Amino acid sequence: MPYKDPNCLAAKESRKRRYKKWATSEKGKKVKRRIQLKYYYGHQGERKKYNDKYTQIHKDAWKIHRKEQRWLVLIHYGGNPPKCACCDETRYEFLTIDHINGGGKQHLKKIGWHIARWLIKNNYPSGFRVLCLNCNFAFGHYGYCPHSGKTELIPVKFCNMDPKDLNSA
């Protein structure tokens, strides 16, 4: 009897068709779901141990990977060792990537917050530079950096205050 022979190709195909028909029926779906839930709840403890262990391992690995990517980008745009294009700050913790023509906020919303990964993936496009956080903040808010020697008087408004009182303060 070929249909009972486990090595017979026709028998295997027949079993597959029958199983597929059964698995897509309502009864088959219910049975499969019951088996899945039994396995799921029966192995919760094992899954939790595995997730706790490997989640931390993967977090640590990705943290190191992101730092390496950031370092590569800083070296590419800021030289080796990387330094601020304005004030020559060289401390890694203070250095950041700046969009030369502005528009960094919109760009980051578009690509996500891992700019180093995006820069490497896009083969280090032009239009970026390395600045320290102070210079980047000054360029973003005032349009110039105090380190460059250019200064502008920024009016400060005080409520209910006489200008003569400003000199004594």
Mean pLDDT of the residues in the chain = 82
Burial category of 135 from C-beta neighbours within 10 Å (exposed 0-12, middle 13-18, buried 19 and up) = buried
| Matching residue, tokens 């070296």 | 75
Task: For residue 167, name the pLDDT band (cuts at 50, 70, 90).
Answer: low
pLDDT in tens, 56-89: 889 999 999 999 999 999 999 998 899 998 888 8
pLDDT in tens, 124-152: 999 999 999 998 888 888 888 887 776 66
pTM exceeds 0.85, yes or no: no
